[in-house]
């Protein structure tokens, strides 16, 4: 299994993996000029120790490459995990990579995230971010119809612009951005993957990106079960 469907039209695919739990162990044991040939119970305890004590460098010797198809509002939150304030991150030397399809170059049929009438959430009562319970169906149905009408109208304007010779990079201005699906490749170290999962499985994370974090977690755990169990927390509890 290397593909999981997410939301109404999205997905996460794990295309490539470098390393395993044994890679983590041997990256740590090289300090003592030692090497394991197969993963033992002692090696599992070492992985748990490394994660617990914050010795994270051995987890950066393994990488995973994902293809993600998500609404733009999810992709822009996800993008935060390769951008930061350090010199290494600013220069692109943090060993994470991101490449995204561009409507400057492609004019494939736009696809949009359209929550169903029973999927619209209320604003939370005790927080400025996140969401609360599902709104009454009549409100959800009205929101669904309004969004569908807006998508139809904006898409018609987009097609009109292309048909009248306007370049793709400007015609895309007509498309409603936040709900439009984008396709991108994300390559990251095992540590970076765990960091993303930990933060985006938190209760206050946006529901849509939680769905993508669960898919990433499930795909990564298949290849790094001991490391993922040691690194990943959900609401402060080890998984």
Check: CB of residue 8 under 8 Å from CB of residue 112: no
Residue whose token pair is 């299994």: 1
Rg of the chain (C-alpha set): 21
| 200 in catalytic set | yes
Residue of 45, 146, 200, 221 with catalytic role: 200
* Cα distances (Å, whole numbers) of residue 35 to 24, 62, 100, 105: 11, 16, 38, 48
DSSP secondary structure of 95-124: S-EEEE--TTT--PPP-B----GGG-BPPP
Q: In 3-state terms, the chain is what percent helix, strand and coil (to 5)? A: 50, 20, 35
Helix (H) or strand (E) holding 11: strand 10-18
Residue whose token pair is 């005790």: 126
User: Residue 105 — φ and ψ, nearest 5°?
Assistant: -115, -25
Cα 140 from chain centroid (whole Å): 26
The whole-angstrom separation of Cα 40 and Cα 53 is: 20
Determine how β-strand 10-18 pairs with β-strand 63-71: antiparallel
Active site residues: 200
């Amino acid at each position: 299994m290397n593909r999981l469907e997410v939301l109404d039209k999205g997905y996460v695919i794990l295309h490539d993996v470098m390393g395993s739990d044994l890679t983590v162990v041997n990256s740590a044991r090289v300090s003592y000029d030692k090497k394991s040939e197969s993963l033992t119970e002692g090696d599992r305890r070492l992985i748990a120790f490394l994660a617990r004590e914050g010795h994270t460098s051995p987890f950066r010797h393994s990488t995973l490459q994902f293809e993600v198809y998500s609404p733009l509002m999810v992709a822009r939150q996800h993008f935060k995990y390769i951008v930061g304030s350090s010199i290494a991150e600013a220069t692109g030397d943090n060993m994470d990579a991101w490449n995204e399809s561009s409507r400057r170059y492609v004019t494939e049929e736009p696809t949009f995230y359209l929550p169903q009438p029973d999927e619209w959430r209320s604003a939370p009562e005790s927080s400025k971010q996140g969401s609360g319970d599902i709104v009454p169906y009549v409100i959800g149905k009205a929101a669904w119809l309004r969004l569908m009408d807006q998508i139809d109208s904006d898409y018609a304007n987009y097609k009109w612009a292309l048909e009248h010779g306007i370049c793709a990079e400007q015609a895309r201005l007509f498309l409603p951005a936040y709900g439009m699906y984008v396709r991108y490749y994300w390559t990251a170290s095992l540590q970076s993957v765990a960091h993303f999962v930990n933060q985006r499985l938190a209760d206050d994370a946006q529901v849509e990106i939680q769905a993508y974090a669960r898919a990433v977690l499930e795909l990564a755990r298949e290849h790094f079960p001991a490391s993922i169990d040691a690194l990943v927390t959900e609401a402060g509890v080890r998984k």
